[in-house]
Chain A
Amino acid sequence: AQKVTQAQTEISVVEKEDVTLDCVYETRDTTYYLFWYKQPPSGELVFLIRRNSFDEQNEISGRYSWNFQKSTSSFNFTITASQVVDSAVYFCALSEFGNEKLTFGTGTRLTIIP
């Protein structure tokens, strides 16, 4: 069974601070995919990244970076120099190869204080 845990329910940081959102997953498959989505107050889900289980390279996209560590089953997301527009709920998600279902974590509500 697949499971995603986001232990941080809410985080508040002051603008320009760095913040890391944690994601821990469980799966029995050796082939799987991990995702991060952003959900602003308007509700739509904004795709941020997809990573497959064979690619452990960390990724950086502007102020966003992701740290994938299979040894600890974690896929953490860091925002550098946070901005007010980063305020949203962030979801980590997992899908197993051959299983189309996408399992979401419970989300982390991030508030950036101006």
Chain B
Amino acid sequence: GAVVSQHPSWVICKSGTSVKIECRSLDFQATTMFWYRQFPKQSLMLMATSNEGSKATYEQGVEKDKFLINHASLTLSTLTVTSAHPEDSSFYICSARGGQGAVFYGYTFGSGTRLTVV
């Protein structure tokens, strides 16, 4: 089955620094990647959608200069939180859609990254 590996699982960083989160599709080609953010006891909110080789499409209200998304290959997408501040502390989850051969995989989620900015 499809597997999406997300790293790191958790990260603590100082305010003002940048943090990179990786999302890899291990056994299929992810033509589309989605990045979600989840605050405690809340739902998943879509931040952006990225297709391999093109710029990400951000949802309204999401700062594209703060949350840099790169989807340079069919198996890797990264989310960089630039100049992180405590209000950026959250749970970030990636999701991938794509296929391998004749098999198409729907939404496969990574295990999430818990970011704490101190």
Contact = CB atoms under 8 A, between A and B. Distances in A.
Interface of A: 35, 37, 42-45, 47, 50, 91, 95, 100-107, 109
Nearest to B10: A43
22 contacts: A35-B107, A37-B109, A42-B111, A43-B91, A43-B93, A44-B109, A44-B111, A44-B112, A45-B44, A45-B93, A45-B112, A47-B108, A50-B106, A91-B43, A91-B44, A100-B97, A101-B46, A101-B49, A102-B107, A106-B42, A107-B42, A109-B41
Contacts of B49: 100-101
Nearest to A9: B41
Interface of B: 32, 34, 41-44, 46, 49, 91, 93, 95, 97, 106-112, 114
Contacts of B46: 101-103
Contacts of A104: 43-44
B117 to A, nearest CB: 18
Pairs A-B, 9 closest by C-beta atoms: A45-B109, A44-B111, A43-B112, A106-B43, A104-B44, A104-B43, A107-B43, A102-B107, A100-B32
